[in-house]
Amino acid sequence: MAKVIESISEWNEIYNREIKGKKSLGFVPTMGALHKGHISLIKRSVKENDITVCSIFVNPTQFNDKNDLKNYPITLDADSILLENEGCDYIFLPTKEMIYPDNYRYIVTETTFSKTLCGAHREGHFDGVLTVVLKLLNIVRCNNAYFGEKDWQQYNLIKDMAKALFLDCNIIPCLLIREPDGLAYSSRNTLLTPENRLKAPQLYRVISSNKPLDVMKEDLRNLGFRVDYLEEVEGRILVAAYLGNVRLIDNVQR
């Protein structure tokens, strides 16, 4: 049975008594509202480590839109059942006060790549992401941390941060997981209206079309998407686009 951890001191006691120097530890940080994409990370961690811990924390510092934070789905009971079924050993549930005792005075900032793509359209977003991930990695002290490639920019920023700051853990990428109709799994998919949920898989189909970028953008606009960005980076097409009030991201290898 997965044990719920609600304080850093409780985790420190367990870590020092049962894990440190004895067992390999895998970590999956999440904001909850778990779906098959998250579960694929849990499965890999369970397979590759003696112990797996998953954190659930809706991190307020990475939301540049207060309404987005307010509307973020909270499904803790369902999440706990999913984690239990997948063999997760510990569920870490920190609070804002626990993670930010300094009231977010100290911030991790990356000065180049984080200012592009999602970072160009969501001021302060990656500062919040990198800061919370660094804090969680320092608290958990895992051997391996798992991140999905749907958030390709985020994964690369975290990987580079770990290298730059000499963190003693492996940042492991996991393949993007799609729903049967091609839509990338996301906690925000549940916020789509029924009509837009039917339309959303067109995002993947368009960026997989191998057309010029400007043609892809026009195709998306004609389908009713509001394009935030659509760019090619290192041979990968990355896109963020709105359907209604829901912002979707996706990427494919060119």
Catalytic residues, by residue number, are: 38
Distances from the Cα of 57 to the Cα of 41, 192, 215, 247, angstroms = 16, 22, 39, 20
110 burial class (0-12, 13-18, 19+ CB within 10 angstroms)?
middle
Contact 28, 38 (CB under 8 A): yes
Alpha carbon distances (Å) from 39 to 32, 124, 146, 151, 221: 11, 28, 11, 15, 32
CA 22 vs. chain centroid, Å, equals: 29
- What are residue 51's DSSP bridge partners? 25
Q: Which two tokens stand for residue 170?
A: 């492996």
* DSSP structural state of residue 190: G
Q: What are phi and psi of 19, to 5 degrees?
A: -120, -45
